[in-house]
Each structure stands twice: as C-alpha cells, then as structure tokens.
Structure 1
Amino acid sequence: MTGDTQSPLSTANLLRRVVPALVIGVLCALTLVALSSFATWVQHLVWESLPAAWGLGATPTWWTVVVLTVTGLLVGAVVRWAPGHAGVDPATTDLVTAPLPLRALPGLAVALVLGLAGGVSLGPENPIIAINVALAAWILCRPRLGVPVEGAVGLALAATIGALFATPVAAALVLTETFAERGDRSGPLFDRLFAPLVAAGAGAVTMLALEAPTFAIDLPSRPGLHAGDALGAALVALAAAALALLAVLALPWVHRALHGMRHPVLALGTGGLVLGLLGVVGGPLTLFKGLEEMKELSEQADAMTWGAILLLAVVKTGALVVATSAGFRGGRIFPTVFIGVAVGFAATALVPAVPAAVAVGAGVLGATIVVSRDGWLALFMAAVVVGDVQLIPVLCVAILPVWLVARVMPPMRVAPPAGGAPEFAALAPRS
C-alpha cells in the first residue's frame, strides 16, 4: 500500500504546507535573534558601559541590587500600563498558551528584554514562543489560507524550539509528547510532524547561519563508561530532582505572597530587590538566564569546593522561584539547566569517582524533568549539554527512578485566576 492510502493527508496536502512552514520557521528565528540581540546590547550597557563610565571599575555588589530592583519596577510598570499587560502570568502557564492579541506583544517584548538584560533568572523561551504563536496565528489563520489556530500554534512552537536549540530534534520530541497527551491519532505520526519539522528545521538553519549559541559545555575527558556510572547518575539525578522539587513546592507560596501586594509595580519591585540580594549572595554566576554562566562555571569548577558550587545551585533555585512568582516574563528551562549543571559539578567535586560528564548530564536530567514534566526534553537537554551520545544509555537508566518521582508531583505552575480574572487586583477594571 502507498503512503497516500494509509494517511488522511495526501502528498499534495503535505507539499502545500511546506512554504507556510518555511516562512514561519525563518520568522520565528529572526524574532528570537532580534530580541535576544537587543537584550544583550542593553545588558552590556547596564552592566559594563555605565559602571565604567561612572568610574566604578569592577561592578560593586550594590549595583546588582539597584539594577535588579529597577528592573522589577520597570517590568511592573509595563505589566500595569502596557496594552495587554505583557501577556499572561508566566507562573500559570507551560511552554505554550493560546495566541495573545497583537496589542499585547510590544509590552511582552519590552518586559522580556528588560528581564534578560537586567539579570533576572529566567530564559527567553516562554515569551518568545508566545510572541511567535501570536504572529503565526495572525499571518496564517485567515479565511484565504484556512490554517486552523491549532496548526499555526504547532508551527510556531516547533519553529521557536528549533531556533532556541538550533536543531529540530527538540521540537520533534516536544510535539510527540503533545500529540500523545491530546490523544491525536489523525494519521501517521510523521504526517502530523511533517510541517512542524519543516518549520523547526527552517528555524534551526536560520539560527545556525547566524551563529546560534550552544548549550554544550567543556568537560574533562571521560575515562570510559563503567557499570557503576548508572548508579552514580541515578543518585545525582535524584539529588537535582529533589532541589527542583523544592522550587515546585515553594512556587505557590511565594506567588501568593508577592501577588498579595495586589499591584504589579510593588510586587515586581519587591521581587527585583530579592533577586538582587540573592545575586549578592550567589555572585554573578547566579544572574541572568544561565546559558553563558554555566559555561563559566565549567571553567571555574575545578577551583571551587563542592559546597560553594552547591550554593550556586541553591541560590539559582531561589532566584528562579522568585522571578517566576513575581511575574517577570520568562521561561524556566534555561535557569533549570544551570541548576542541573551546578548540582552535577558539586557531585563530582564531592565524589570524584563520578565522572564530571556523567554527573553533569544526570544533574541536568533530574532538574529538567521535574520542572518541565517532559522526559524527552530532559533527555535531550542532558545529552546536548554534555555533548556525548555515548552517555545516552546511562541517562536512559538514570531517568527511570526520577520519572517515578516526578510523575506524581505537582507541575511547576499555579492555577490561573478563577474566571479569567486579571493577574493582579490593580489590573481589574473599576466598577
């Protein structure tokens, strides 16, 4: 039998989806590049150019507190007064939500840039996906094109994930999980993945052409795998999962406390102040989204004690909870990967018999699976950070006990306000 008789989608239908998928893939990558590049420029201005111009030399600790507090106040002002209030509360959502109205996108973009540049411990993934989903829906969901909202969301999600990680593999894994959760059986899996993979590939190729950042870090050479590595990896993964689980359990309490202030400027300003104080305790490595910082940690880990490295992981965990609870616009995957890397380096410093590559991969695996509740994404992130495909069998064994724990724990999010109420009481329309 041919593929056409087995699939509800003909070859012609699949081919008609290629051009829209390519367009959305390139567009999503360019959006990511534009906002990330602008945030990096602002970051250098705030953290390097201004202190140097004022003769401060090395950035003083008080500068960290001031910058993050001001960042919180500015993001709070955007959430309060920008049209659309910079999207939805990130603590109530996963990676993707329903398309936002276009009027909310400028405020969301400004809030994202401020957070990334100001040192907030969140990544760009959630806001970038939200922006790209809204743009894709606006472009494709027209009567003339006839693309359903669900299809536009899938293309934008796949394209953005492909661009974020510079490979379509992560997008395929995430979408496979999504299809399974929805119970989607509308034809062969690869038919359903065809257009999203085209979009993810276009996004990844665009990022590679623009010199995309990499998650891989430098690790000491590995002497070879041993039977005991699986046990060591499982223990490290469980330790990282336990630390991430503390963040999951703390989120509703911290969220309730900060949102009890009832005004975004006050809540986010307070959150920024706390983040600044945590940055003073943990140092520069615990600031920002964590991508470059985990590479710096890999270069400094040999000169640090296991306790000092573990402190970085604990501080970063606290910063992730505060940033998410306060209402800063950002994602949780990037800082979670840093937490896992730090736990891994702490483990190998405490027990040198566990190779660094095994410990770091297991740490990323354990932390990511608890925060994301996605085993495929956790395996992918661990393999990408370590950059060693030979460790995948060990990681596949290590993930088993962690998943048994993670699957019965609550997700890292809070329930959205009842009846679609505003994120803060101050945003509610006056009667």
Structure 2
Amino acid sequence: MPQQAAGPSQPPSLRELLRSPGYGRLLLVSALVGVPVSLAAFGFVSLEHELQHLVWESLPEHLDYSSPPWWWPLPTLALAGLLLAPIVTRMPGRGGHIPVHGLGGPPTPPIEVPSVVLAALAALPLGAVLGPEAPLMAMGSGLALLTVSSAKRASAPLLAPMLGAAGSTAAIATIFGSPLVAAVMMIEAAGLGGAQLTLLLLPCLLSSGVGALVFTGFGHWTGLSIGALSLPSVPKAGLPDAADFLWGIPLAVVIALVVVAGQTLGHRFAVFTSLRTAVRTVLSAVLVGLCIAGYALVTGRSPEEAALSGQATLGQLSADPHAWSVGALLALVLFKGLGWGVALGSLRGGPIFPAVLLGAALGVVVGGLPGMGTAAGLAAGLAASAAAATKLPVTSTVLATVLLGDQAADSMPLLIVAAVVAFLTATFVHRVAVGPPEGHASPSPTADRTTG
C-alpha cells in the first residue's frame, strides 16, 4: 500500500518541534529562569515564615503568654482583612485570583505580581487558613514572563503559557519540597498528550530542577526556615490488609465530602465578597478569626493549630498522633474546615495545604478504630484529601509518597485506592453542590484543572 503523503494540515513531529530554534531558546530560558524565580520564592517564603513566627510566637511571648490566647486570632485576622481590602479592590491583579477557583489560570502579568505578593503577606502570616502555593505559582509565572518582551509574547501565542508554566513549576517545586511533585502536577493539570505534553514538560522539568537546587542550597547557606510541606517523622507503616481497605475506602469518601463542603462554602463567599468587596473582605476575615478562636475555646489548645496553612500542625500530628484526642481532632476538622471554606472565597492564598491537614486529622481518627492502624489512616488521609482538593489523583499520590518518605512503599496500594476514591467522589459531589463550571477557553495549559 503506497504511503500517503503528508498533507499541509498534518502537525509537525516531536523531533521537528524539538529541533526548532525557538524551542531550543525556550529550554535555555526555562533553565535560566529557575534561578531568579527560586531566589524570589526563597525570599517570599522566608519572609512569610518569619512574619508568622513574629505574630504567633514572639508577640505572645513578649506579652507574657506561653502560647497565643484563644482570642488572639480575632485581632490578627481583623488586621489581615484591613490590609487585604485595599489590595483586592485597588491594585492591578487584585491580589491574585480567589483561592476557591483553584491554582490554574492564565499566566500572571508582571504588573500584577506586586499585588499577589502583598496580598499573600497580608493574609497568610496573620492566620488566613490558606497555603502559599497559589501566590508562589502566580509570582513564578509573572517573573518568568519578565524575561521576554510583550511584543515577543504577542507574536508567539504559546510562548507566554509555556514560559509561565515553567516559572510556576520552579516556584511550586520549592514549597512542595520536590521538583517531581511539581512536574507531575503540570503533566496531569495540562490535560495534553503526545508531543504537546513533552513540549510543556521539558521546560517545567528544567526550571523546577534548577530552581530546587538553588532554593535548597540557598536555604542551607542562610540557615533561614522555608516552611516547605514536609513530615519530619511519620508512624511506621506495614503492608495494608483487607481491614485497611475496608476502613480506607469510606474514609476517602468522607474526606472528599468534607473537602467539597469547604469548597462549596468558598464559592458562596466568593459571591458574597464580589459586591462591597472591601467591607465584606474584612467581615470574612473576622469570621475566619472567630472559627479559629472557637477551636481554641472548645479544646483548650492553641489557636495556632487551626490557623495558618497547617504545615506545622501537620508535622506535629504525624510525629505524635496520640497527643491528640479524638474530640480535638474532630474539632480541628470542624473549625479549621469552616475557616478554610470562608477563606477560600474571600482571602488570598492557596487551597491545598489546609485540606491536606483536614484529611490527615480524619485519617488519624479512623486509624484509631479497630482494624486500621494510625499509619494507614494517616497515609490514606493525605492522599485522599489532596486528590479531593486538587482533582489531580496522580499528583496527590506522588505528594503523599514524598511526604511519607521511606514509609510510602508499603502504603502505596492504599494511597492509590484512597486517591482514586476521593477524586471520583469529589468530582461527582462537587458538580451537584456547585453546578457545572462555566464554559470558557483558558489560554494556559494548566488553567482551571486544579480547581476547587
């Protein structure tokens, strides 16, 4: 049979695309952009961590409190709302997109980066129940776009989203503690295949790899804390048995329902703050403070455990899960979950980190039941919550694997099942609770795939 001649509509092969001069320059720029983006990310997370330490440790100690009193979140969150209000109403970019809309979206124009950074520094250290991942990604994409002129971006429509994705990957790799998690997130969020996927992945791998090297080295050199999502110690895990799956599957369903409930609340508050934004942003921040204070009043524990992104609390929970009573863990899920839902629709930050803590807390609760150990419950909770929050089950499994370290190998079957069950549950329930997403074309390869 004679070979059919290539028609003018046949797309170029991967080899032809890789050998094109423009793509070679993109790879070089992506490798180079990882350096300034990682340094900027280092400065951002270090400053955010130092401000957090000042607000939640140094100031209470200066006022002769061994830990923040129960009412501490009320003035701190009120201040966060007051600082955030003019940013989200007057500055270009309005402090970045609302967290409940996810991590994806078009590349951030460089002119909007200052408002993103200021909004994150106004909200996160003062107790907003959100993470730093979304501001980091926006900052990374905006800084990456500074490397090419606006005329060049206009003449090459794919340049901006691909370079923006590379910058976002370099930034997000720093806070997830692994370039692999960031790269897998880009693969799964892109929704592409074949040559297109390879073209997107190579710049992301280069920028995140170089960025992680610079970020880690700079952290060791300065000795500053960067607050990356990590678990210094985790319970020893064994091979999962039938009981682990019998408990793990309904656990994943419950976690997905909790996450979708928080996201649904976030959508309601996004509508609420769309009118009279300044006043309602302050009111929402105060409401987040009330949720955190409620946790401290009910449990008698520090309000810091329910405030902030949850990175520190997650490390404490995994290191010593038996230091928490079932009542305290359920109160954490209730009050932090409510605060997270309000913050998702009104403040600025990332949606993933608090959700992971909520899932871990529920996992430890179920892990104390007969037939399922704490290690298995924690592992399933990490994977299920990340999958429900991001709608990216592969990324969530990799993230849980990185967090569990050498204990992940035995837990891998349970991780995968929990992530898939939570993803399916969250996908179906979210569509019912919020309704189908509005149809719109997004110019970014990662747009709206990691949405809440």
When the two structures are superposed, what TM-score results if normalisation uses the length of structure 1? Answer: 0.85
Q: Is contact 2:235-2:319 (8 Å) kept?
A: no
Displacement after TM superposition at 1:323 (Å): 0.8
- Output the amino acid matched with 2:233: D
Question: Aligned residue for 1:215?
Answer: 230
State the distance in 2 between where 1:70 and 1:333 align.
24
- Output the amino acid matched with 1:297: L
State the distance in 2 between where 1:43 and 1:184 align.
41
Structure 1: 5+ residue stretches without partners: 420-431
Q: Is contact 1:252-1:414 (8 Å) kept?
A: no
**Is it true that 1:335 corresponds to 2:349 in the alignment?**
no
Displacement after TM superposition at 1:300 (Å): 4.5
Displacement after TM superposition at 1:161 (Å): 2.4
**Is it true that 1:61 corresponds to 2:91 in the alignment?**
no
Question: Deviations 1:339-358 (Å, cap 9, x if unpaired)?
Answer: 11111111112x05312221
Structure 2: 5+ residue stretches without partners: 1-11, 221-225, 296-302, 441-452
**Is it true that 1:125 corresponds to 2:133 in the alignment?**
yes
Question: Deviations 1:67-117 (Å, cap 9, x if unpaired)?
Answer: 1111111111222333443233333x3213223343322222111012121
Question: Deviations 1:132-181 (Å, cap 9, x if unpaired)?
Answer: 2122122135556976112212211221222222322222222222342x
State the distance in 1 between where 2:114 and 2:435 align.
25
Q: Is contact 1:95-1:126 (8 Å) kept?
A: yes
**Is it true that 1:381 corresponds to 2:402 in the alignment?**
no
Question: Aligned residue for 2:89?
Answer: 80
Q: Is contact 1:217-1:294 (8 Å) kept?
A: no
Displacement after TM superposition at 1:124 (Å): 0.9
Question: Aligned residue for 1:422?
Answer: none
Alpha-carbon distance change, 299 to 234 in structure 1, aligned in 2, over 3 angstroms: same
State the distance in 2 between where 1:289 and 1:158 align.
20
Question: Aligned residue for 1:345?
Answer: 364
- Output the amino acid matched with 1:235: P
Alpha-carbon distance change, 238 to 332 in structure 1, aligned in 2, over 3 angstroms: same
Q: In the comparison of the two structures, how many residue pairs are matched?
A: 408
Question: Aligned residue for 1:114?
Answer: 122
Question: Deviations 1:172-192 (Å, cap 9, x if unpaired)?
Answer: 222222342xx454x274454
- Output the amino acid matched with 2:361: A
Question: Deviations 1:367-388 (Å, cap 9, x if unpaired)?
Answer: 2222211111221222223221
- Output the amino acid matched with 2:333: A
**Is it true that 1:280 corresponds to 2:300 in the alignment?**
no
State the distance in 2 between where 1:78 and 1:238 align.
38
Alpha-carbon distance change, 6 to 316 in structure 1, aligned in 2, over 3 angstroms: same
> Match for 1:293 among 303, 307, 313?
313
Alpha-carbon distance change, 299 to 177 in structure 1, aligned in 2, over 3 angstroms: closer
Question: Aligned residue for 2:281?
Answer: 268
Question: Aligned residue for 2:299?
Answer: none
**Is it true that 1:159 corresponds to 2:170 in the alignment?**
yes
How large is the Cα RMSD of the aligned pairs?
2.9
**Is it true that 1:402 corresponds to 2:402 in the alignment?**
no
Structure 1 runs (4+) deviating above 4 angstroms are: 11-15, 141-147, 411-419
Question: Deviations 1:208-254 (Å, cap 9, x if unpaired)?
Answer: 22256342252222344323323332222122112112113322323
> What does 1:170-209 align with in structure 2 at a 5 Å threshold?
170-180=181-191, 183-185=192-194, 187=195, 189-209=197-217
State the distance in 2 between where 1:315 and 1:72 align.
19
Farther-moved stretch of structure 1 (239-248 vs 159-168): 159-168
When the two structures are superposed, what TM-score results if normalisation uses the length of structure 2? Answer: 0.81
Farther-moved stretch of structure 1 (135-144 vs 23-32): 135-144
